[in-house]
Structure 1
Amino acid sequence: MRILSAALALAAALGLSTAAGAQGYPSRPITMVVPFAAGGPTDTVARLVAESMSKTLGQQVIVENVGGAGGTRGAGQVAKAAPDGYTVLLHHIGQATSASLYRKLPYNPATDFETVGLVTAVPMTLIAKTSSTPKSMPEVVDYVKANKDKVTYGNAGVGSASHLCGMLFMSTVGAQMTTVPYQGTGPAMNDLVGGQIDLLCDQTTNTTGQIRGGKVKAYAVTTKDRVKSLPDLPTMQESGLKDFEVAVWHGVYVPKGTPKEIVDKLNAALNVALNDPKVIARFADLGTEPEPKDRRSPAFHQQFLAAEIAKWKPVIQAAGVYAD
């Protein structure tokens, strides 16, 4: 009985401690881990959101880039962090696809995190070096089919959004290109602009400025509707690639076991950020917009993540692409 009483007292004390911690949260800066290199599209989204969330929370939200292994290194770091709300993750679609891409993933994307809310779904664009011969998307398809392995396609590594888009493109047109993996889309973009590779599919947050500046040749966007910031650019479906649609959604996560009160505070701050006119305007410049309000809740985010894991699993298995 004494042992039982002591255990109950300890549990009650821990519960009170957790509740008190949640009430006083945040009392120090928060680290927002971005599992990709600085300067990339996901990093851009994170920094815009973090700046606004800092004002709402009254503590600085510091973005930390932990790249490597297609985003799994940074995600794994957050999964193992203390569930106190001071380490959060902003990840893209790779949080769902990593479940099927990696044979030895040291965490479970579906069960080792608490979902905070969806942020934005970013369109992608298929772009090429300026000296590229094809003048339209149908001509690109014909060119790839005719030249196959001679065509070089850059990506940011296994599991990256650019890798997924390229994999879906090659599957759709029925032709393989020579893929060139990079440590992030920044270096891949540099080589595309420099003419060292032929093609790249990347998020509008990273390509809009290059397209507008005439540094790359753009062929199509990957969403079902045209992008407001690039109104003259046709969609893949308009260009003859039926059912080709990819949007790189982003979400915020915390380690499993983080108190609901803390998750709710982070969600509230995220909603303020996504309603911020400055964030909305900057997103628009980058070819995207905040997720609708009904898609920002932790519950919706959790359901959406599960659905995305199920959606991409057969695509990845059919492609036979895996990473250790």
Structure 2
Amino acid sequence: MKARSSFLAVALSVSSFAGLAPGAAHAETDWPSRVVRVIIPWAAGGGTDPLARVIFGDMSQRLGHTFVPDFKGGASGTIGTAAAARAAPDGYTMMMTSGTPVVNANFMPNVPYDPKVDIVPVAQVTTSTLFVAANVHTPYNTFQELIDYAKAHPGKINAALNGIGGTSHVTLSTIQHATGVKFNVIPYSGSGAQQADLMSGVVDIGFGFATSFMPGIKSGKLKFIAALSPERDPMVPDVQTSDESAYKGVYNVNWFTVFVPKGTPREIIDKMNAELRTTVTNPVIAKKINELGYAVKIGSPEDAANMIKADVEQMRKLIEAGVFEIPK
């Protein structure tokens, strides 16, 4: 079902992040002074798990108080995000997530929180390029060749979709909208089955992080088609970008950002931001993050709010163009 028009009228401004204003509550000067719960709105063992353990493991050691990952998966990340939105704004509940429950939720009916108000960005901590990969026996090797083949053979390319409403769904929709092609979409509920079918040739192409495709690449069953970014990824510099084709600007870069409930005092938000910055810019920690397939990117809470605003606008355009349908 297409999102209702009322959802398309979302105006996400930086000022709408109420928690970015100075908090009325008196902030602790010695934060943290006890255990901090870090909600991860995805299942344990997924791609977020190792990243969270690297970042918050270091913060636990440095600050002397445990940051405990609390995995609350389900409903494209909205179950865990709702739990974070309902938590006390005292600095002892944080959330780290990718964009789906923050960006897509602006257009989902019946989400039990307002993503523009109920959660407040502390800092973006990483960014990661999305890749197109294909079974090694497919007759295309670059983004240009993929699109040319798709146009010459409409509906013949089977594209794996790992989760309706998620990152791969946005990636597929972006490519179809920008190039005018139409893939035969095969939805999967998890990445394991998708990877198995991609390597066996049941599906032709898939979308994801470089690290998720590496086992198939190393076994000779998969090949990279393109990095969906303006510049080549230093992790796999031999892989061409989508910009190295006739189709410029076909990008999809995923991110992870840390949030807190609205009403969290600005003093605590600023301290969280500073501690996250100290962790992710530590060369030892940054190397571990890079090995997981992410690049470190951290700025102010306002920087994160602006980035989210831009992503919401991109999503709005895809929905209005009729190439992306938000699940019920």
* Smaller-chain TM-score bracket: 0.7 to 0.9
Q: Which 10-residue stretch deviates more, 103-112 or 38-47?
A: 38-47
SS in 1 for 2:26: helix
Aligned to 1:257: 263
Aligned to 2:302: 299
What 5-or-longer segments of structure 2 have no aligned partner? 1-22
The higher relative CO (CA closer than 8 Å, separation ≥ 6) is in: 2
Which residue, out of 185, 199, 206, partners 1:193?
Answer: 199
List aligned pairs for 1:87-106, cutoff 5 A. Answer: 87-106=93-112
Structure 2 residue 129 is the aligned partner of structure 1 residue 139: no
**Shift of residue 231 of structure 1?**
1.0
SS in 2 for 1:117: strand
**Shift of residue 163 of structure 1?**
1.1
Kindly indicate whether the alpha-carbon contact (under 8 Å) linking 1:70 and 1:156 is maintained by their aligned counterparts in 2: no
Aligned to 1:275: 281
What 5-or-longer segments of structure 1 have no aligned partner? 1-14
Change beyond 3 A, Cα 1:125–1:193: same
Structure 2 residue 288 is the aligned partner of structure 1 residue 288: no
Q: Over aligned residue pairs, what C-alpha RMSD do you find? A: 2.5
Kindly indicate whether the alpha-carbon contact (under 8 Å) linking 2:103 and 2:308 is maintained by their aligned counterparts in 1: no
List aligned pairs for 1:120-269, cutoff 5 A. Answer: 120-208=126-214, 210-269=216-275
Whole-Å Cα distance in 1 between the matches of residues 301 and 160 of structure 2?
A: 34
SS in 1 for 2:296: coil
Query: Stretches of 4+ moved more than 6 A in 1?
Result: none
Work out the number of aligned pairs and report it: 305
SS in 2 for 1:104: coil
SS in 1 for 2:257: strand
Structure 2 residue 13 is the aligned partner of structure 1 residue 23: no
Which residue, out of 58, 68, 72, partners 1:66?
Answer: 72
Whole-Å Cα distance in 2 between the matches of residues 255 and 245 of structure 1?
A: 30
Kindly indicate whether the alpha-carbon contact (under 8 Å) linking 1:204 and 1:288 is maintained by their aligned counterparts in 2: no
**Shift of residue 173 of structure 1?**
2.5
Whole-Å Cα distance in 1 between the matches of residues 64 and 143 of structure 2?
A: 48
**Shift of residue 210 of structure 1?**
4.3
1:165-205 deviation per Cα after TM superposition (whole angstroms, max 9, x unaligned): 11111222212223233334344334323433221111234
Whole-Å Cα distance in 1 between the matches of residues 244 and 88 of structure 2?
A: 47
**Shift of residue 288 of structure 1?**
3.4
Q: Give the number of the structure whose alpha-carbon radius of gyration is greater.
A: 1
Q: Which 10-residue stretch deviates more, 80-89 or 219-228?
A: 80-89
Q: Which amino acid letter does the alignment assign opposite residue 284 of structure 1?
A: N
For normalisation by structure 2, the TM-score amounts to 0.83
Q: Which amino acid letter does the alignment assign opposite residue 206 of structure 1?
A: S
Kindly indicate whether the alpha-carbon contact (under 8 Å) linking 2:242 and 2:250 is maintained by their aligned counterparts in 1: yes
Whole-Å Cα distance in 1 between the matches of residues 236 and 224 of structure 2?
A: 10
Whole-Å Cα distance in 1 between the matches of residues 107 and 196 of structure 2?
A: 27
1:31-52 deviation per Cα after TM superposition (whole angstroms, max 9, x unaligned): 2222223343333332221222
SS in 2 for 1:23: coil
Identical pairs, percent:
31
Q: Which amino acid letter does the alignment assign opposite residue 289 of structure 1?
A: A
**Shift of residue 303 of structure 1?**
2.7
Kindly indicate whether the alpha-carbon contact (under 8 Å) linking 1:182 and 1:188 is maintained by their aligned counterparts in 2: yes
Aligned to 2:15: none
